[in-house]
Amino acid sequence: MGSQKQGLMWLTGLVFLNILVLSMADVHHYEFFLQESNFTKLCSTKNILTVNGSFPGPEIRARRGDTVFVNVHNQGNTAVSIMWEGIEDSNNGSNQLIQPGRNFNYEIELDDKIGTLWWHATSAWARATVHGAFIVLPAANEDYPFPTPDSDKTIIIGIYIYIYMEELTEANQSIALGQSDVYTIDDHTGETNGCSNDTMFEYQVDYQGLYIVRIINAVNETMVFGIASHSLTIVGQRGAYSRRSFTNSLTLAPYQVIDALLCANQNLGHYYITARPSSDTTRSTAGILRYTTTST
């Protein structure tokens, strides 16, 4: 009898909790403007397709259970559709092209997804520059199933296609890489090129800080990612928490996303962040993890 009563109370509690989670869900509205923008990299200026002039595009942030509307306005010259990797959009929008001058309002319901997902143009040629992170935080009353991080950072591994970026068309359904193409961390090409406009990705951390690093492989190749002298703890993949595992470097399959914990527990200083294709150790790109000094 007692245990039955307890069971009932437990059940009532669960139902109440669910209602609480649902009633606290938010609705977010994002406006994306697909537009051609000039970017100077590798000593030359190219016209590339971007969202709101940025590459990678804007980051979406919502909580588990929220609804997100993304109104995509196509101000470019070619038809494009956007895919929400690992998430269904309620209007079946990923199947239809948005013609130049038109818009489409995607509706995304975040039922039980958690962690880092991403969005990208559906066609191979456009997704090289039209992509960004889609971050699903725990619901307002939920905790992480690991120590609460101080903050988080998205790192998108991409590729900058040097030759005729502006000539890529719907016809380029699979992109063959050339020798002049470089891998990027966010939009940074790293230090390998000697062009004054090329910069290195930099990530500032506090000593003893705990961070979620959200690594998105936006490249159609298996990539190896690592931070010198630091190990990473994998905590999430594919919109779900995963079994924790420790590693010195991450191997990401094409278009894979991994959430990892980083503890800034080394000597103050700076450390290389590297990303390279697993097939070629010579073509890596680098960024820097920099410990902030207490005086600043």
What distance lies between CA 153 and its chain's CA centroid?
Answer: 9
CB 262 within 8 Å of CB 246: no
For ligand NAG, the closer of residues 156 and 234 by Cβ is 156
52 binds ligand NAG (CB under 6 A): yes
Rule CB under 6 A: say whether 278 interacts with ligand NAG: no
**What's the CA gap between 195 and 233, in Å, rounded?**
35
Distances (CA, A) of 273 to 115, 118, 126, 182, 211: 22, 21, 27, 16, 15
Task: Please pick, from the candidates 6, 12, 18, 38, the single residue that binds ligand NAG as defined by CB under 6 A.
Answer: 38
Least distance from C-beta 226 to ligand NAG, angstroms? 23
Nearer to ligand NAG, 1 or 176 (CB): 176
- Cα–Cα distance for residue pair 173/126, rounded to 1 Å: 9
Closest CA to 289 of 155, 125, 106: 155
- Where are the extended beta strands (E) located within the chain? 27-41, 44-51, 60-63, 67-74, 82-85, 103-109, 115-121, 131-137, 151-160, 182-185, 201-205, 210-217, 223-227, 232-237, 240-247, 249-252, 257-263, 270-277, 285-291
**Of residues 202-261, those binding ligand NAG (CB under 6 A):** 220
Please state the closest distance from residue 168 (CB atom) to ligand NAG, in A: 5
How far apart CA 258 and CA 228 sit, in angstroms, is 18
Nearest approach, Cβ of residue 44 and ligand NAG (Å): 7
Instruction: Using CB under 6 A, pick the residue from 21, 25, 28, 58 that binds ligand NAG.
Output: 58
CB-nearer residue toward ligand NAG: 241 or 255: 255
Q: Rule CB under 6 A: choose which of 21, 25, 28, 36 binds ligand NAG.
A: 36
Indicate which single residue of 33, 69, 144, 241 sits in contact with ligand NAG (rule: CB under 6 A).
Answer: 33
3-state secondary structure of 266: coil
161 in Cβ contact with 250 (< 8 Å): no
Q: Which of 19, 24, 195, 268 lies at the binding interface for ligand NAG (CB under 6 A)?
A: 195
Smallest gap from Cβ 216 to ligand NAG, in A, equals: 15
Scan residues 161-180 and list those touching ligand NAG (CB under 6 A): 164, 167-169, 171-172, 174-176
Binding mask 72-111 for ligand NAG (x = CB under 6 A): --------------------x--x----------------
- Rounded-to-integer distance, Cα 140 and Cα 26, Å: 10
Q: Count residues binding ligand NAG (CB under 6 A).
A: 27
Q: According to CB under 6 A, which one of 15, 22, 24, 43 is a site residue for ligand NAG?
A: 43
Backbone angles phi, psi at 93, to 5 degrees: -70, -30
Taking a C-beta distance cutoff of 8 angstroms, is the pair 114, 136 a contact? Answer: yes
- Asked if residue 197 binds ligand NAG (CB under 6 A), the reply is yes
The site for ligand NAG (CB under 6 A) is made up of 30-31, 33, 36-38, 40, 43, 47, 52, 58, 92, 95, 124, 164, 167-169, 171-172, 174-176, 195-197, 220
